[in-house]
Structure 1
């Protein structure tokens, strides 16, 4: 009886720690430089990354040669540096916490750098999109990918719900894991 009780306590403590780690924002390190090609564009990276309210952007650059400007969409498109919303110019100490959902536009403050591709759009998901822990689910394979030999791939439901054998569908991965673990312990 004591072994079952201590096992339950250990599992509950583990679950609390998992939830606390999932609630924290993530830190995204950005090497702030002119991309050498379109495939190395910061926007290519950002399009594959899920940003959430509470995440932090951390830029790495030489403050004596560059700066980061948060700008309006219009200034982003035209590479206008004269009226930034926020100016960051402290080099490797530049951090910005993403406090609201929606698009955030950043350009280089160095002359000509924005026109050469040193710019970034970060789209922050709304707060009701819950963090699912670990990596984001991979996008569904294209029809061409499905025609190749290999194991079949089960696609995640469009709603973001997850299912596990022996468990009902749940809204988030965290709740599914918690309930499945509790079923195993009980």
Structure 2
């Protein structure tokens, strides 16, 4: 295998720099207006610009709440069929598109403990 030309080296440096800048731009968001995943979260994403790679942190008491990552249909119907998170301090990395989250404890989703987040 031959040596890289100066041109090839510059291209590699530019690509690596672009990748590192993309990671540096990711933001971490604590979910909820009071820093807690609770019944007042439905409107919390409004006015925020989420990007793929951003991280949502869900803080809650695992004895009374959880986070269920659900489909749009299950979000609309408050059906807790999906990936269940229950540590009380969960980190979720966003991908592009809309992600849906509900609390799977009985009645919590129907009283507003759910949110949809769209990342570019």
Change (3 A) 1:21 1:73: closer
Structure of higher RCO (CA pairs closer than 8 Å, 6+ residues apart): 2
SS of match in other structure, 2:44: helix
Higher helix share: 1
Matches within 5 A, 1:7-22: 20=21
For this pair of structures, how many residues does the alignment match? 98
**Alignment correspondent of 1:113:** 108
In structure 2, the residue matched to 1:34 is 39
Give TM-score, length-normalised by structure 1. 0.49
Which runs of 5 or more residues in structure 2 are unaligned? 1-16
Which protein is bigger by CA-based radius of gyration? 1
Alpha-carbon shift at residue 45 of structure 1 (Å):
2.4
TM-score by length of 2: 0.74
Higher strand share: 2
Residues of 2 paired with 1:29 and 1:117: CA distance? Answer: 18
Pairing of 1:170-185 with structure 2 (within 5 A):
none
Match of 1:3 in 2: none
CA deviation after TM superposition for structure 1 residue 107, in Å: 0.4
Q: Deviations over 1:59-115 (max 9, x none)?
A: 11001111000000000000011x21x111000x211111x2111000001110000
